[in-house]
Amino acid sequence: MAINEPTQRRGRRIMMTDTERDAYLTGQRVCRVATVSADGAPHVGALWFVWDGASVWLYSITRSRRWAQLGKDPRLAVVVDDGVEYGELRGVELSGAAEFVGEAPRTGEPCPELTSPEGLFARKYFGLAEMPHDGRHAWLRLTPDAIASWDFRKLADL
């Protein structure tokens, strides 16, 4: 185990604090979402998202491969990352089981659970106070079982 110790210690030192992670996830606009098919083949696609401090909220097309796969297997992984040069790389990976929230597709029926994420999403992506509904998308919530983060900019301080 001594061979992995330096890497593990470095991993802890470049990990984001909860405050850094929340600010990062709130400020980023695009995530990559990974699902698995019945035969185990991965599928990855980009989506807009919002982070409420506890969950990632994804507004997905209900006629997508992603939606169909999650209906059969709710396991989901989300990666949000950025940076170009090695010393700039940072990101967060979240994983767990997706939950469908509200009607599908979403038409705007009252759903108190969606009040906050829809407000966050409408402001972040549309500059609106209320969420526009197109009858093609619906909500997925990922309350992660596991979170990993990294900020290679912290290497300069090591």
> CA–CA separation, 143 vs 126, rounded Å?
24
Domain ranges of the chain: 5-157
Instruction: Give the number of other Cβ atoms within 10 Å of residue 95's Cβ.
Output: 16
> CA–CA separation, 97 vs 146, rounded Å?
10
> CA–CA separation, 51 vs 73, rounded Å?
22
pLDDT of residue 74: 96
Q: Is the pLDDT of residue 6 over 60?
A: no
Mean pLDDT on 118-130 = 96
CATH code of the region 5-157: 2.30.110.10
47, 33 Cβ separation under 8 angstroms: yes
Q: Is the pLDDT of residue 136 over 50?
A: yes
Banded pLDDT at 1 (limits 50, 70, 90): very low
> CA–CA separation, 71 vs 101, rounded Å?
12
Beta bridge partners of 92: 80, 149
From residue 143, how far is each of 24, 33, 121 by CA, in Å? Answer: 17, 14, 17
Q: Is the pLDDT of residue 157 over 90?
A: no
Per residue in 36-68, pLDDT (tens digit) is 998 989 999 999 999 999 999 999 999 999 999
Residue 121: which residues within 8 A CB-CB, separation 6 or more? 48, 50, 57, 59, 131
Q: Is the dihedral of CA 78, 56, 121, 91 positive or negative?
A: negative
Banded pLDDT at 13 (limits 50, 70, 90): confident
pLDDT of residue 12: 79
Mean pLDDT on 105-112 = 95
Mean pLDDT score of the chain = 92
